[in-house]
Structure 1
């Protein structure tokens, strides 16, 4: 009995302590809300409204309507097929009516009608109200157990002997996805990978089943050479201007999923690479649409800002350079086994530097190991930035293209508004807050899942407009207008023309598999290596 009483008193004591702790947190949150309300009163309401910029002379294209009248019509069409009107939700009605009414739209009207979040306020978390805070929290915040996404990895060998990793979700053992469902093709940021929180934040919903509130899509994250546990099997890394690895990835996806629309998405450096791809490919682009978040646009201006301001140089430039040096050091044992190249003395030089900046690394390493072909090696870091920048070529984009930037992004010095106005398919969404890949909001609601007395961490606002865009371009665009661009060889199938390699023609056919090249492009090819049978392990870095 005494033991039970002692146990009861301990429970009561714990409860009292917990209540006091929760009262303290509640008071702290109340104070924070009061401070937030005060600061909100000082900021004009228009500063919370995202701003949309679009072409002055846009191209018009055809899309399926999605207004309420169309939904009701689709419901009655389902009733005619034997369904119960009251049991059909709007999402089902949209999915079952492939012959929905169509309309001719510009890129701006397409976005405004289908992405309502872009016309609503974005109010940042009260303690993340500037670009530096948003950016640092994106890096330092603990998102380990948030938006958990399982991947199944496939490896592709490139013609030069390099290897890239494609992480697919959902894995084949979780559920089967209709082969016609859209595939989100994702390019991560500098030294990142599929594990990044900004990627999982979107894919956790985009690739969830529709009955659970998701889009039901498939996604493929292209992990760059040497990133996210991908072995370095050649003396080439990655860069913001080398496109053949991305071309090979899209070639492989089009072969494996010939009926699935491919929706491109890039973050930071991956955004720059995706931008360059859709510009260079033009009407040969294999993507139906593309969206970029935190796109750096003009890399020369960004570098000048990072190098010439004391705070930016010592915080951002050195942190980015340090991450790349760390990645390089991970692969030094592999590089030591390869034949010396013109990059070897530059690698030795960068390893001797005490705290190299991003520009230092790009000058010594990326300019020599970031690709092959006519552009490489590149003379200097600034020449590399000039070649990689795509801000002045957006007029070459021929597919629906959405860019999202925050005006307080410390990494992006300038957004090319004038060039976007001269484009035909590009729409730019700009928020006054958000930093670099942050866009956090909320963070006040209590949630017991994150621990007793803890309050829900900030969520990313940007997930909502991106999901609306993905659904709109994946389901409402008339496929023939954009899917045909990358398939000029024929209209019967979206499957690309591939040419099998023969002995003496580039890399030899061997026992592990066969090489495939895009017809007319001998530099673009792949060999499928392996597909994992278990989830991709979390990276050590």
Structure 2
């Protein structure tokens, strides 16, 4: 039986970040990055909502922040996309391109998004960061939001960027929640995405039942990580409740103390699931990894505080197109390396190396 490859090569985390929590928190909150600017495009969805895409490429002309559109002052974008920008996206038949799906409550301002964008721009790539609904700095129009198994949204975003730059050589990266959603979609509809040259998922909670329980039941996770996410999730939903009276159980939202509470009160019922357990079970990407047909890197540190090591997949869980890279250290989307104050270059370099190797393999086959 042909199975996935397993890579246990280390991420060389520094000695001054000795364990999972410091690696995760420093990477998310303190690691130095250059602030990358974007051009923003708003795209209407078929159900009457919108998503925001942040674009950057060597050919796009970006003004300094001093000339930033005031409507975008709280974002990483400096202006809205113009027809001239759109024409540039489709001007190079050989342009390598990356679509990035962020994690829970992430955005193009997230440190991992900034570091990945910066690195791939330095290689001459076109980069698009897709914002899930309500994550771009603007409330979305509908009562619904986004979730870990939203295959229709992944499909819509992938097809949208392909339409914008149909001749580009696209790769896709999903981080955490975005990684799980991307993997699930690639496994559900493997024949639809051969136009993607390769894909990668970083710290994806591929077993959402295990991850959701761990984030809700573990004391440190509940008091630190769940509280961090709820700090923005709850106000967003309460704002929706004022626009859509009677649709959202405000009392349960106010009383939510962990992600299980929040998903039971809002995410599950709003998006067609029975409860949090049903949502987590149906949205997990792990059962779909055997179906993936394009070269795909699934990168999970074995000390990720969000996902217990014992549920990480072995080679038998993936198709021959999948590589499971499971370094011992790195935390959750941390992967900080170097001397103080560290850097976030290991992750984008790992992604770029995988994409390059996949392209070479594809060239040999053809």
TM-score bracket relative to the smaller structure: 0.7 to 0.9
How far off is 1:262 after superposition?
A: 1.8
Match of 2:16 among 124, 127, 134: 127
Deviation string, structure 1 residues 24-80 (Cα, Å, up to 9, x no partner): xxxxxxxxxxxxxxxxxxxxxxxxxxxxxxxx615xxxxxxxxxxxxxxxxxxxxxx
SS at match of 2:300: strand
Tell me the SS of whatever aligns to 1:207: helix
> Using the alignment, how far apart are the partners of 2:225 and 2:8 within structure 1?
32
Change (3 A) 1:328 1:469: same
State the distance in 1 between where 2:190 and 2:157 align: 17
1:352 maps to 254
Q: Where does residue 189 of structure 1 map in the other structure? A: 103
Instruction: Summarize the alignment of residues 90-101 of structure 1 with structure 2, pairs less than 5 Å apart.
Output: none
Q: Say if 2:312 is the partner of 1:415.
A: yes
Separation (CA, whole Å) in 2 of partners of 1:281 and 1:250: 13
Question: Mind listing any 5+ residue stretches in structure 2 that lack a counterpart?
Answer: 63-84
Task: Point out where structure 1 has 5 or more consecutive residues left out of the alignment.
Answer: 1-55, 59-106, 112-117, 209-214, 371-375, 445-455, 482-541
Number of the residue aligned with 2:153: 245
**Secondary structure of 2:119 counterpart:** helix
Structure 1 residue 398: Cα displacement: 0.8
2:70 corresponds to = none
User: Structure 1, residues 396-432: CA drift from partner, whole Å, max 9, x if none?
Assistant: 1111110111111000122111543x52211111111
Q: What is the rounded CA distance, in whole Å, between the counterparts of 1:179 and 1:151 in structure 2?
A: 22
3-state DSSP of counterpart to 1:403: strand
After alignment, is 282-291 or 173-182 more displaced?
A: 173-182
Aligned partner (choices 45, 55, 60) of residue 168 of structure 1: 55
Deviations 1:474-507 (A, max 9, x none): 56634997xxxxxxxxxxxxxxxxxxxxxxxxxx
**Residue 441 of structure 1: SS of its match in structure 2?**
coil
In the TM superposition, residue 168 of structure 1 has moved relative to its aligned partner by 0.7
> Given the two structures, how large is their TM-score scaled by the length of structure 1?
0.58
2:348 aligned with 1:463: yes
Indicate the structure (1 or 2) with the bigger Cα radius of gyration. Answer: 1
Match of 2:297 in 1: 402
| Displacement after TM superposition at 1:202 (Å) | 1.6
1:287 shift after superposition: 2.3
What corresponds to 2:242 in structure 1?
A: 336
Q: How does 1:357-506 map to 2 (within 5 A)?
A: 357-370=258-271, 376=272, 378-413=273-308, 414-420=311-317, 422-444=318-340, 456-473=341-358, 477-478=362-363
Q: In the alignment, what sits opposite 1:205?
A: 119
User: Looking at both structures, which has the greater relative contact order when contacts are Cα pairs under 8 Å and sequence separation is at least 6?
Assistant: 2
Give TM-score, length-normalised by structure 2.
Answer: 0.84
Contact 2:31 2:342 in 1 (8 A): no
Taking structure 1 as reference, are residues 280 and 192 closer, same or farther at Cα in structure 2, changes over 3 Å only? Answer: same
**SS of match in other structure, 2:216:** helix
Which residue does the alignment assign to 1:510? none
Q: 1:165 to 1:479 in 2, by over 3 A?
A: farther
| 1:362-385 Cα shifts (integer Å, max 9, x gaps) | 111111334xxxxx1x11101000
Q: What is the root-mean-square deviation of aligned Cα atoms in Å? A: 2.6
- Distance between the aligned counterparts of 1:401 and 1:458, measured in 2? 25
